[in-house]
Amino acid sequence: MDQREREGINDIESNEGSMDRNGSSSFDDDKELGMMQPLLERKRTMNTTSQIAVVGANVCSIESLDYEIVESDVYKEDWRSRRKDQIFQYVILKWTFALLIGLGTGLVGFFNNLAVENIAGVKLLMTSNLMLKNRHQEAFFVYAGCNLILAAAAAALCAYIAPAAAGSGIPEVKAYLNGVDAHSILAPSTLFVKIFGSIGSVSAAFVVGKEGPMVHTGACIASLLGQGGSRKYHLTWTCLRYFKNDRDRRDLITCGSAAGVAAAFRAPVGGVLFALEEVASWWRSALLWRTFFTTAVVAVVLRTLIEYCRSGKCGLFGKGGLIMFDLSSTTTTYSAPDLAAVILLGVIGGLFGSLYNFFVDKILRTYSIINERGPRFKILLVVIISLLTSCCSYGLPWLVQCTPCPSDALDKCPTIGRSGNFKNFQCPPGHYNDLASLLLNTNDDAIRNLFSGGTNNEFHVSTLIIFFVAIYFLGLVTYGIAIPSGLFIPVILAGASYGRLVAHIFNPISDLDNGLFALLGAASFLGGTMRMTVSVCVILLELTNDLLMLPLVMLVLLISKTVADSFNKGVYDQIVKMKGFPYMEAHSEPYMRNLAAGDVVSGPLITFSGIEKVGNIVHALKSTGHNGFPVINEPPFANATELCGLVLRAHLLVLLKKKKFSKERVDIGNGENFQRFGAFDFAKGGSGKGMKLEDLCVSEEEMEMYVDVHSIANTSPYTVFETMSLAKTAVLFRELGLRHLIVVPKTTGRFPVVGILTRHDFTHEHIVGLFPKIKKHG
């Protein structure tokens, strides 16, 4: 390996953001194509050959994760030497972690609900009391002022402490479980801001939900436990060293994401299915059991705490159970006209959902320009959206007329001093404002009002139209600003409102209650935006306690997803792509069938000998961004040149730090290496805490010495022939969760390694750079 080769590698791999590739070409055409740059990156001057991610509009490098087990000699010796009690301890710890994740996520979910209900409840009571006294201007200033303070606080937390906490967090968790890591997405500071920022943003009357942030919160809790705490904040537990690897953390974070859904929707089975369908890229039966156990713990925690609150000790927190919107009291019988309504709702949901995703894409790209200007502009944007939301929530109810209270109303009308379907607003006694009961309310109460049965005549058509347009618009402009925000709530609200509109059309010929139409409308919009079917179906059934609606919910989800798939991808898939995460799909692209694995491998290639000079290793680590290096044995250490294994950059740094060097190029044997190293010496540190080359101090004398890398090399790396089709190679790479895949020659008598495939080499941008005539859907 001469100096010219090393400089060539340095030119194309100056940043780890290139996804640890060992030998891949640079992207000279990226500036023209603009495809590698997430969101609007044209004004950035950094290295365009590096993939970057925009997390909260902050640029950060991304890395692949080492989900593959490194079966080195040190690792094998460690497992051989483990006693039965140590193996039993490892298994017990797995289930203990599942228990702790469920407990932690359940407590945080309850705390979020408790805080939101009390903060928003006090704000709405103050506004309502002033309205009753006809002090309308003061009421608006109190309402808008409280919203502004809460919104600015949430934005300041995101802008200055943890930019990665902005948004829902589901795309980041989805990318992590696919094998992509971005800085700080699971850090303790992100967890802190996610919790309190979510409380602030939801309490500030934004059209956002806490469900997406709860998924991210559960993942952060799982990550914090899995890495043994936080070394930065001096909260560590050395006994948890077994889980200091990406593979075990991946399983824990999968449990955390499922627990987040279970805590947000109080839907334990839906949480498991959400993790399986939407976020997890790898699944197995053992993980299914642990995830199910975690969500069951969440359900028990929530049930216990909610029962405690039934005595009225939780302030304004509601007294509901695990079933948030009970529709079981309504009669569920349906006929042919009802099926026609379901089909219509499915088509509408698919059209509106795909249009929603299109606008989300455009708005996020626009907001990125503003957010790039710094924290002050992020906060300013949040303040503007907060004022717009307050004006709409308070101002739009003035456009509708007061409605006389129904004579057969089961609830008190108008409802004063509490939430309900009959908001008084500016109306005289005995009348209510139906739009105020939806807009000037918490999001959960608005959904409850729309889903409520026996209320066919309580919401006028004009009210539902205004509410749908307002929620659709506010949901779009709110997502993407610097606050924790989920998409579930605005989508459910908008879907439920047009579901009731369709109900008004079909009321003369349909037997379904308008509340059931609202449920079906929410399902159709969820299917059209998020493209989830099984998990959304179960979540909605757990939310509403109406099993008889299962066939209709399934039908509307399938239709809406099919219609929306004709136009674009799901919203989370779009955001993953916009943020620059190199996500590996479960399927290969059609054009990959015409290429072989060897076609996309490019050099130069860096390899190490089994007994390598220290100076060569240090120089290679300095001049490249590679994270994997093939280890080659040559005579006299082998009968012929052969592939010995693959060694990781992180493990080489540990090896160099130990300074177990020799002056002669001799094999010191595994026995001595086992005495020098333990498997936990190579355990991965917490987020951003890995060893760096700058931490090493190697003298000039030591640079001329030799070090044995045999014992730390993965002696059984995955390899493919250079003639294997790229489509088959991509599926293999994704299904096994690999970071490096070695390509070997088909014929004998050649160098044992052709190159290394990494996540980067399967990207469309890289392949088009090598073969410009290829079309993505060719």
pLDDT in tens, 195-207: 999 999 999 999 9
The reported pLDDT for the residue numbered 228 is: 65
Q: Strands 755-757 and 403-404: what pairing?
A: unpaired
- Full-model pTM: 0.88
Q: How far apart are CA 309 and CA 111, in angstroms?
A: 12
Are 117 and 310 in contact, with CB atoms under 8 Å apart? no
Task: For 88-132+168-196+208-311, give the CATH class.
Answer: mainly alpha
pLDDT tens for residues 522-534?
999 999 999 999 9
Does residue 38 surpass a pLDDT of 60?
no
230 Cα distance to chain centroid: 21
CA torsion 350-354-355-360 (nearest 10°) is 140
Are 497 and 538 in contact, with CB atoms under 8 Å apart? no
Are 101 and 263 in contact, with CB atoms under 8 Å apart? no
Give the CATH fold of the 590-776 domain.
CBS-domain (3.10.580)
* Least confident piece of the model among 141-155, 186-200, 415-429, 446-460: 415-429
Q: pLDDT category, 11, cuts 50, 70, 90?
A: very low
The per-residue b/e assignment along 429-465, b for 16 or more CB within 10 angstroms, e otherwise, is eebbbbbbbbbbbbbbbbbbbbbbbebeebbeeebbe
Average pLDDT of the chain to the nearest whole number: 83
- For a pLDDT cut of 70, what percent of the chain falls above it? 84
CATH code reported for the domain at 336-370+402-579: 1.10.3080.10
DSSP string, 573-618: HHHHHHTT--PPPSS--GGGGG-BGGGS--S----EESEEEHHHHH
Mean pLDDT of 727-748: 93
The reported pLDDT for the residue numbered 27 is: 31
The reported pLDDT for the residue numbered 234 is: 52
Does residue 192 surpass a pLDDT of 80?
yes
Does residue 33 surpass a pLDDT of 60?
no
Q: How far apart are CA 246 and CA 66, in angstroms?
A: 6
* Least confident piece of the model among 376-380, 553-557, 576-580, 738-742: 576-580
- Give the CA distances from residue 348 to residues 342, 353, 456, 492, in Å, rounded to whole numbers and listed in that order: 10, 8, 21, 14
Q: In terms of Cα–Cα distance, which of 92, 292, 60 is closest to 187? A: 60
Are 64 and 758 in contact, with CB atoms under 8 Å apart? yes
Mean pLDDT of 760-778: 80
Are 584 and 179 in contact, with CB atoms under 8 Å apart? yes
Higher pLDDT, 658 or 37: 658
Mean pLDDT of 396-412: 82
Looking at residue 756, the DSSP 8-state letter turns out to be E
- Supply the angle between the helices 188-203 and 211-226 in degrees, to the nearest 10: 160
Does residue 777 surpass a pLDDT of 90?
no
Are 483 and 201 in contact, with CB atoms under 8 Å apart? yes
The reported pLDDT for the residue numbered 18 is: 38
pLDDT tens for residues 257-268?
999 999 999 899
* Least confident piece of the model among 253-257, 579-583, 627-631, 660-664: 660-664
Q: How far apart are CA 171 and CA 581, in angstroms?
A: 9
Q: How far apart are CA 696 and CA 654, in angstroms?
A: 9
The reported pLDDT for the residue numbered 632 is: 92
Please, is 80 exposed, middle or buried when counting C-beta atoms within 10 Å of its C-beta (0-12, 13-18, 19+)?
exposed
The reported pLDDT for the residue numbered 85 is: 77
- For a pLDDT cut of 90, what percent of the chain falls above it? 47
Does residue 295 surpass a pLDDT of 90?
yes
Two domains, one topology: 336-370+402-579 and 590-776: no
Higher pLDDT, 10 or 373: 373
The reported pLDDT for the residue numbered 194 is: 95
Q: How far apart are CA 398 and CA 394, in angstroms?
A: 8
pLDDT tens for residues 480-491?
899 999 999 999
Does residue 149 surpass a pLDDT of 50?
yes
Q: In terms of Cα–Cα distance, which of 751, 778, 766 is closest to 599? A: 766
The reported pLDDT for the residue numbered 86 is: 76
Mean pLDDT of 147-175: 94
Does residue 509 surpass a pLDDT of 50?
yes
Domain residue ranges in the chain? 88-132+168-196+208-311, 336-370+402-579, 590-776
Does residue 49 surpass a pLDDT of 50?
no
Q: 693-696 long-range CB contacts below 8 Å, 24 or more apart?
A: 693/618, 693/621, 693/622, 693/653, 695/653, 695/657, 696/618, 696/653, 696/656, 696/657
The reported pLDDT for the residue numbered 171 is: 93
Higher pLDDT, 62 or 321: 62
227 Cα distance to chain centroid: 19
The reported pLDDT for the residue numbered 719 is: 95
- Count of C-beta atoms within a 10 Å radius of residue 592: 23
Q: How far apart are CA 168 and CA 217, in angstroms?
A: 10
